[in-house]
Amino acid sequence: MAAKRAGATVLGSQFHQFMPHGVSGVVVIAESHLSIHTWPEYGYAAVDIFTCGETLQPNVAAAFLIERFQSKNPALIEVKRGTLSWRNELLPHKPEEGGVVCDEQVEELQMVS
């Protein structure tokens, strides 16, 4: 749901429910992926929102998850990826025809709640 709200193209997902509690999962999107790992016994969840593209809104996905988990102390960290710093150039993503083109920096938004 967070990926769709952010405007992502969802390709598939895989989740695992641990016993007695906790979940790990990934949502594969055309623009990269979202992953989550939860430790409910500690009231903790770690989420990676790894995206590229000009229309995707990773902050919308993060806000949705913060609200859904009723996080009282969320921490967001944005990491710019996709540059060759020694050459000062971006790494273009060239998918098959009809795919998402990502020729700007990839943004990874890590959320800890």
21 has catalytic annotation: no
93 has catalytic annotation: no
13, 16, 24, 32: the active-site residue = 32
Q: Which tens digits make up the pLDDT trace of 8-66? A: 999 999 999 999 999 999 999 998 999 999 999 999 999 999 988 778 899 999 999 99
Per-residue pLDDT, 80: 74
33, 52, 102, 113: the active-site residue = 52
24, 35, 37, 93: the active-site residue = 37
Residues in the chain: 113
Query: Which of 10, 111, 105, 13 has its CA nearest to residue 62?
Result: 111
Of residues 80 and 69, which shows the higher confidence score?
69
Of residues 87 and 59, which shows the higher confidence score?
59
85 has catalytic annotation: no
Domains in the chain, CATH or no CATH each: 2-112 (3.60.90.10)
**What's the rounded Cα separation, in Å, for the pair 94 and 91?**
9
